[in-house]
């Protein structure tokens, strides 16, 4: 049987029985037969049974019992004093703040009375060593109790901080996966809707063009399914098969993205400037998603025929600029945190910034993402 499975009152009861038996064995046999002495010992050791339930009550009962035992003419030995020390430690370590103050004050009163009793029993010959000894004896558990109390409070604070950090991390992970799902679905569905609309219009007069449109729909759907399986794998803890959990996309897949968008009827030009940097995974993925979302907005809202993607690598940052020549309405930032607002959140999460608005007859999205960590 494990010790933790035993009731605290059982363990405290065993402690009380052992201490009282030890006190009787170490005490004077004649005194042990005195009813008042036995009664005093009962009040000195008995309350230890309820140590876990009434921490302050121990001091209020055991303290006066120690003084009464001395007033009755019986000497408090090691085990009697040890019971008092346990009572003081318990009250300080486990009582509330106001109760700890009360128990500390009571301890001082008890110690003072014990010193007076000792002096009175010595027929008025006051021993200067009595009071300092008792102050030290009963002050030690006060210090230890406060130490245990503060340690427990510090540990509880750390555990609470860990819980808050875990909840924050889980929330951020859910937001990240929500962005992933939104980007994948919004882009793919937009391309498929445009292609389906175009295919339906040209199906009768140009079957070959319609077949190309449906081919783009098929390829877009396959890509969307692959990325959705990867996102679902993240939600399930990454326990999917290796085929389902493909690497996350990055700027290295921009060519495939551009081909897909061009198949939807939008001419796209890619302009890469500077020496490519090794991008952290989060920056690489977010950069790809920002470009993807920008092109999706152009397809859905821009009425544009041409777009330019500019990728510039600086020494400590990555700059993306997506421009189009559209003149149609640009959808406002989505209230649910996606769209332009979602792109801004992605950039802000990485310490970057994003601006978007009309520019030279079209629309422009410009984002700067730091590559090197910002100095602390």
* 359: CATH: 3.30.565.10
Flag whether 228 is in a domain: no
**Domain membership flag for residue 14:** yes
Q: Evaluate if residue 332 carries a pLDDT over 50.
A: no
Residues 6 or more apart in contact with residue 356 via CB below 8 angstroms: 340, 343, 363, 364, 365, 366
- Report yes or no on 285 lying in a domain: yes
Residue 331 near residue 317 (C-beta atoms within 8 A): no
DSSP string spanning 54-91? -HHHHHHHHHHHHHHHHHTT----HHHHHHHHHHHHHH
Q: Identify whether the C-beta of residue 248 lies closer than 8 Å to the C-beta of residue 177.
A: no
**Structural domain that includes position 340:** 267-376
Is residue 223, in this structure, part of any structural domain at all? no
What pLDDT score was predicted for residue 318?
93
Say if 118 falls within a structural domain: yes
At 244-273, the pLDDT tens digits run: 445 678 898 899 888 888 877 788 999 999
Confidence class for position 365, pLDDT limits 50, 70, 90: very high
Closest CA to 368 of 316, 325, 324: 316
pLDDT tens digit string along 14-60? 888 888 888 888 878 877 778 888 898 889 898 888 887 887 777 77
- Arithmetic mean of pLDDT, 206-227: 72
Domain boundary among 127, 142, 163: 127
Give 271's strand partners.
Answer: 310
Residue 28 lies in a domain: yes
Q: What is the DSSP code (8-state) at residue 203?
A: T
172-191 residue pLDDT tens = 666 666 666 666 676 677 67
pTM over 0.85: no
CA–CA separation, 241 vs 285, rounded Å?
A: 21
- The least confident of 61-65, 156-160, 340-344, 372-376 is 372-376
DSSP annotation of 348 reads: H
* Across 270-299, average pLDDT: 86
Q: Tell me the C-alpha distance between 149 and 93, whole Å.
A: 5
Q: Classify residue 35: in a domain, yes or no.
A: yes
Q: How far apart are CA 80 and CA 32, in angstroms?
A: 13
Question: Which conformational region is residue 362 in: left (phi greater than 0), alpha (psi within -120 to 50 degrees), or beta?
Answer: beta
From 84, 103, 127, the end of a domain falls on: 127
Under DSSP, is residue 196 helix (H, G, I), strand (E, B) or coil?
Answer: helix
Query: Which range, of 104-113, 118-127, 186-195, 289-298, averages the lowest pLDDT?
Result: 118-127
pLDDT band at 67 (very low <50, low <70, confident <90, very high): confident
Distance CA 261, CA 270 (A): 12
Within-domain flag for 29: yes
Q: What is the pLDDT of residue 173?
A: 62
pLDDT at residue 276 in the model = 84
Contact present, 280 and 372 (Cβ < 8 Å): no
Question: Last residue of a domain, which of 127, 154, 174?
Answer: 127
Please tell me the number of Cα atoms within 13 Å of 251 on its side-chain side.
22
Q: What percentage of the chain carries pLDDT values higher than 90?
A: 8
Q: How many domains, in total, are found in the chain?
A: 2
């Amino acid at each position: 049987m494990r010790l933790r499975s035993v009731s605290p009152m059982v363990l405290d009861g065993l402690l009380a029985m052992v201490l009282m038996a030890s006190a009787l064995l170490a005490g004077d046999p004649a005194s042990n037969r005195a009813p008042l002495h036995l009664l005093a010992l009962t009040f000195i050791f008995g309350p230890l049974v309820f140590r876990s339930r009434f921490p302050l009550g121990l001091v209020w009962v055991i303290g006066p019992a120690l003084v009464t035992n001395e007033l009755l003419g019986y000497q408090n030995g090691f085990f009697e004093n040890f019971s008092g020390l346990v009572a003081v430690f318990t009250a300080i370590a486990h009582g509330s703040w106001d109760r700890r103050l009360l128990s500390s004050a009571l301890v001082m009163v008890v110690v003072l009375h014990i010193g007076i009793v000792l002096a009175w029993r010595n027929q008025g010959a006051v021993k200067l060593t009595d009071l300092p000894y008792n102050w030290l004896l009963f002050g030690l558990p006060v210090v230890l109790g406060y130490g245990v109390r503060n340690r427990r409070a510090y540990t509880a604070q750390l555990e609470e901080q860990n819980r808050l950090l875990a909840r924050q991390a889980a929330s951020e992970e859910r937001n990240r996966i929500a962005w992933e799902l939104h980007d994948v679905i919004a882009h793919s569905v937009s391309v498929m809707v445009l292609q389906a609309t175009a295919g339906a219009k040209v199906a009768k007069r140009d079957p070959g063009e319609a077949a190309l449109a449906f081919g783009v729909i098929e390829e877009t759907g396959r890509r969307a399914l692959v990325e959705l399986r990867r996102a679902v794998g993240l939600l399930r803890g990454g326990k999917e098969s290796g085929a389902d959990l493909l690497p996350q996309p990055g700027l290295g897949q921009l060519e495939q993205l551009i081909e897909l968008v061009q198949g939807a009827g939008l001419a796209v030009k890619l302009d890469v400037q500077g020496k490519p940097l090794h991008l952290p995974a989060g920056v690489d993925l977010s950069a790809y998603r920002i470009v993807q979302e920008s092109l999706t907005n152009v397809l859905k809202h821009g009425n544009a025929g041409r777009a330019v993607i500019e990728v510039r690598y600086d020494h400590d940052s990555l700059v993306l600029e997506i421009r189009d020549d559209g003149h149609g309405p640009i959808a406002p930032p989505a209230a649910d945190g996606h769209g332009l607002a979602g792109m801004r959140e992605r950039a802000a999460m990485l310490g970057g910034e994003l601006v978007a608005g009309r520019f030279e007859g079209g629309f422009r999205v410009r984002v700067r993402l730091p590559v090197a960590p910002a100095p602390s």
